[in-house]
Chains A and B, each alone.
Chain A
Amino acid sequence: MRFVDEFRDAEKAHALAARIASLCEPGRQYKFMEVCGGHTHTIYKHGLEDYLPESITLVHGPGCPVCVIPMGRVDDTIHIAEQDDVIMTSFGDMMRVPGGRGSFLDSKAAGTDIRMVYSPLDSLKIARQNPDKRVVFMAIGFETTAPSTAMTLLRAKQEGLDNFSVFCNHVTIIPAIKAILDSPDLRLDGFVGPGHVSTVIGCEVYQFIAKQYGKPIVTAGFEPLDILQSIYMLMVQLAEGRSEVENQYSRVVPWHGNPKALQVIGETMELRPYFEWRGLGFISHSALRINDDYAAYDAERIFEIPGVRVADPKACQCGEVLKGVLKPWECKVFGTACTPETPIGTCMVSSEGACAAYYNFGRFSRERIQEASHV
């Protein structure tokens, strides 16, 4: 299949892997963080770690939009859904995320009308079709999905729809990366930079990572060869003693991002003073809310939001996993109390979460399967 097969070519992967291995200094350990959950998913889905020498470790970062939503915001969403005549809509990944008192699926089973949509524009369609209902879109995601929420707000205003609103939970990637770089217990050698987010914000914004923190970053695509090539590019930078921002995903990511997308975000949203991230705590200027011009479409102003913060169980170590301090399996409740069927932490819910990816795809001992997988 075009645009797929050429990025999954095993022969090319072997060649790249050999070049990566040749760049490893004996005795040195390398730790790279892939920021984006989509990368984590690709790494596990294709078994990419099989190509890496033992001295290279991939650390899974906080770029899974579902994983960083705190339980309190899930509860708030369910609270809105419980109001009269409300149809709540959100992306499929959110349906199973547990809040303090259950998930959207549980709430739906208890009688609320929560629907999965593929795009916020689908919510708008539902609003048009149900003029006697109040339709709310629970918006989540980084700068990747924020433009489509923004476009939906513009469209809603143009059409003069008065039964549609957005419960905005959009977050921004840069403060999260900063939080990780400032985390004292983590030593990284470089970053596999987020791909989809960069299509919107570009690569220039990562300069502080290379300049101030001295870490190389390579923006990467989502096919397994993309990621392998990015790791190679990181290794070359390290070997040459460079620390720069490079763009492996240039077929999609423009260096300066997408000005149109940034413009529509700016037209409809503004930075919050601070926002709670699951596992990472409150981070200032790290999330978006709807601005005054679009107040009529802001669910936080239309509905009364309980805003109760729900603490994670003490045993849950999502924060450490999100920061890459712990490997998923090092969490105390991994695989026992917390499993994909009954997730406690959000990292276990989304297929892009580090814990779910490891549990679903990588839960085996490499030595033990060697014989089985030798065909």
Chain B
Amino acid sequence: MSGEGGVREQASANWAEEAVREAAAREQLDVTQSQGHADPEHPVVRDREQEVLDRIDRARRARPRVKDERITMAHGAGGKATHSLIEAIFLDAFRNPLLEAMEDQAVFAVHGTRLAFTTDSYVVSPLFFPGGDIGDLAVNGTVNDLAVSGARPVYLSAGFILEEGFPVEDLRRIVRSMKAAAEAAGVQIVTGDTKVVQRGKADGCYINTAGVGVLDRPVSLGAANARPGDAVIVSGPIGDHGVTIMLARGELDIESDITSDTAPLNGLIDRLLDATTGVRCIRDATRGGVATILNEVAVASQVAIVVEEDTVPMRAEVRGAGEILGIDPLYVACEGRFVAVVDGAEAEAALAAMHSHPLGAEAAVIGSIKADPPTLVLLKTEFGGTRIVDMLIGDPLPRIC
């Protein structure tokens, strides 16, 4: 046994040797290609650490590939693995200008009317949790994905995948929530589908919704629009939904009064867009949390984002759960919060408009857009230091000690 030193064989990890070879080959190619492309704005500091940072930067820009033989849970967690999967498999196959924008919805014109179109699937467990259920989420999530483009959500579809044996009373309850959520958001569910799969082939109930919205405003919001000098606003305390779900799973034996923040954001977004034309981009901070949105904006706009930790609104329960579990609330999902990038000069007006709406009462400016270093999200910590807030790797796993 290896623990007893009786080493019977030596093996090597082929995958690792291969990764080293591939990176070396790619590095060779990058160096050859980048020769003669010095950036006069930033004369490269030729110390070794900077060389390494440059090398990493090149490696990060490399075209994403999926090397895994099978789908793992990390591919669904909203972080780097999800992005690689989307870009290397889906975008690669379906490539078109609308999809390439990689927004939460596609925006296009039909006979002069600008429409927004989106879809999302819901597989939350447990199905019912404090503050909502899978039904609310399925309506609000799709409404929000439309609303963040500036569109007025109009029609939704609903597709159900039900597991054999699922209680009809539970289904009734979910559908009642969907009806109420649709009414609250001012949308109608106008088409749908139902499938039943054998026991054990699904986890009770999965829902897919798609939605169509109309862009009445002449806005064109997008993650690539952020500019230096812009302000970053979040619409309310972060992480409520994710922490609620973690606690509702009952594995942690932590009790708290916290409830999901699931809500339709179209009303609040309307008010924001009425108040100012300085809005560059809005994204709802669902899977992957606020940190993921910020990284997406930093990359799409080729800007730096500096966040002040002590300005990020967060409930004590969320902060406490994060401390106990070793999870950074910046990565925890919300279902009724958005991040908006707004012209710095309009930030006050934007904030005032949001404060006048119940869902935006605790909105706050959490940071600003800078020119350099592009694609980095920096956090000025409460403690007074600086660190990076990177894209999430895999699931936010708790630390052990």
Contact = CB atoms under 8 A, between A and B. Distances in A.
A355 B366 CA distance: 28
Interface string A261-281: 000000000001111100000
Given A100-B12, A369-B378, A272 B19 contact: no
A38 B251 CA distance: 23
Contact of B382 (A8, A44, A118, A363): A8
Interface in B353-390: 368, 370-373, 376, 378-388, 390
Contacts of B368: 375
B323 A4 contact: yes
Given A48-B383, A101-B13, A337 B20 contact: yes
Given A99-B13, A365-B49, A375-B306, A276 B382 contact: no
Interface residues of B, number: 80
Interface in B70-122: 70-74, 80-81, 84
B397 A109 contact: no
B308 interface: yes
Interface string A128-149: 0000000000001110110000
Interface string A322-353: 00000001100111111111101000001110
A95 interface: yes
Interface residues of A, number: 101
A106 B70 contact: yes
A234 to B, nearest CB: 19
A316 B19 CA distance: 11
Contact of A371 (B13, B23, B372): B372
B42 to A, nearest CB: 8
A45 B381 contact: yes
A347 B69 CA distance: 24
A38 B398 CA distance: 13
B397 A369 contact: no
B305 to A, nearest CB: 9
B73 A105 contact: yes
Given A71-B13, A363-B56, A364-B378, A110 B70 contact: yes
A196 interface: yes
A368 interface: yes
Nearest to B26: A336
Contact of A363 (B5, B53, B252, B394): B53
Given A106-B72, A307-B2, A309-B11, A365 B53 contact: yes
Among B251, B385, B399, the most chain A Cβ lie within 10 Å of the Cβ of B385
B4 interface: yes
Contact of B388 (A275, A311, A361, A375): A361
B378 to A, nearest CB: 6
B67 interface: yes
Contacts of B11: 72, 100, 308-311
Contacts of A175: none
Interface string B123-150: 0000000000000000000000000000
Interface in B289-329: 304, 306, 308, 316, 319-320, 323, 326
Contacts of A287: 3
A116 B17 CA distance: 28
Interface in B23-74: 23-24, 26-27, 42, 45, 48-50, 52-53, 55-56, 59, 67-74
B274 interface: no
Contacts of A99: 13
Contact of A46 (B42, B50, B387): B387
A50 B385 contact: yes
Contacts of A70: 2
Contacts of B5: 273-276, 282
Nearest to B314: A1
B168 interface: no
A205 interface: no
B1 interface: yes
Interface residues of chain B: helix, strand, loop or mixed (majority): mixed
B393 interface: yes
Interface string A74-94: 001000000000000001110
B116 to A, nearest CB: 31
A116 B400 CA distance: 11
A367 interface: yes
A49 interface: yes
B125 to A, nearest CB: 14
A178 interface: no
Given A110-B70, A371-B372, A118 B387 contact: no
A112 B371 CA distance: 47
A14 interface: yes
A79 B379 CA distance: 42
Contacts of A368: 42, 45, 372-373
A335 B80 CA distance: 14
A47 B397 CA distance: 21
Contacts of A365: 45, 49-50, 53, 373
A100 B9 contact: no
Contacts of B395: 92, 95
A224 interface: yes
A108 interface: yes
A310 B23 contact: no
Contacts of B20: 313, 315-316, 333, 337, 344
Nearest to B323: A4
Contacts of B4: 272-274
A342 to B, nearest CB: 6
Nearest to B396: A92
Given A47-B387, A72-B2, A364-B376, A334 B23 contact: no
24 contacts: A14-B384, A45-B381, A46-B387, A47-B385, A73-B3, A76-B2, A93-B397, A96-B397, A100-B11, A106-B72, A109-B72, A110-B69, A118-B252, A144-B401, A276-B2, A311-B11, A315-B20, A336-B26, A339-B59, A359-B390, A365-B45, A368-B42, A369-B378, A375-B368
Interface of B: 1-13, 15-17, 19-20, 22-24, 26-27, 42, 45, 48-50, 52-53, 55-56, 59, 67-74, 80-81, 84, 251-252, 304, 306, 308, 316, 319-320, 323, 326, 368, 370-373, 376, 378-388, 390, 393-395, 397-401
Interface of A: 1, 4-5, 8-10, 13-14, 38, 41, 44-51, 65-66, 70-73, 76, 91-93, 95-96, 98-102, 105-106, 108-110, 116, 118, 122, 140-142, 144-145, 169, 196, 224-225, 272-276, 282, 287, 289, 300, 305, 307-313, 315-316, 329-330, 333-342, 344, 350-352, 359-365, 367-369, 371-373, 375
Which 8 pairs show the lowest CB-CB distances between chains A and B?
Answer: A47-B385, A337-B23, A335-B56, A92-B397, A10-B384, A109-B70, A361-B387, A307-B1
